Amino acid sequence: MTETHVPEDAEASTCPHCGMAFPSETIRDMHVGRSHHDAMSAAERDAYEDAYYADADDLRLFQYKALGALVLVYFFFLITYAAVA
């Protein structure tokens, strides 16, 4: 079983299937969807889908920000090289 860390001052969300503690409900919902897929109820499936799509949206935003930063760095070095050469 994988160890999880829940801060002392936070309420833990526990998995209803295996009793594992998670720092947030979203992470617990992702765990239930991935580890207990066959035993999920309809409400747990909906919570997993919501958490999955929210995570996908966050990842897509991070990818756009990383791409923007990479483009800025590229043009910075291009302009610097053009100015020095």
* Rounded (10°) angle between helices 25-35 and 42-84: 110
Mean pLDDT value across the chain? 90
pLDDT digits 0-9 by tens, 18-52: 888 888 899 999 999 999 989 999 999 999 999 99
Q: What does the pLDDT average to over 7-22?
A: 81
Q: What are the residue ranges spanned by the domains of the chain?
A: 13-84
Geometric angle at alpha carbon 55, from 49 and 60, rounded to 5°: 125
Q: What does the pLDDT average to over 67-80?
A: 98
Q: What's residue 63's pLDDT? A: 98
Distance between CA atoms of residues 48 and 40, nearest Å: 9
8 A C-beta contact, residue 41 and residue 53:
no
pLDDT level of residue 13 (50, 70, 90 thresholds): confident
Distance between CA atoms of residues 16 and 41, nearest Å: 11
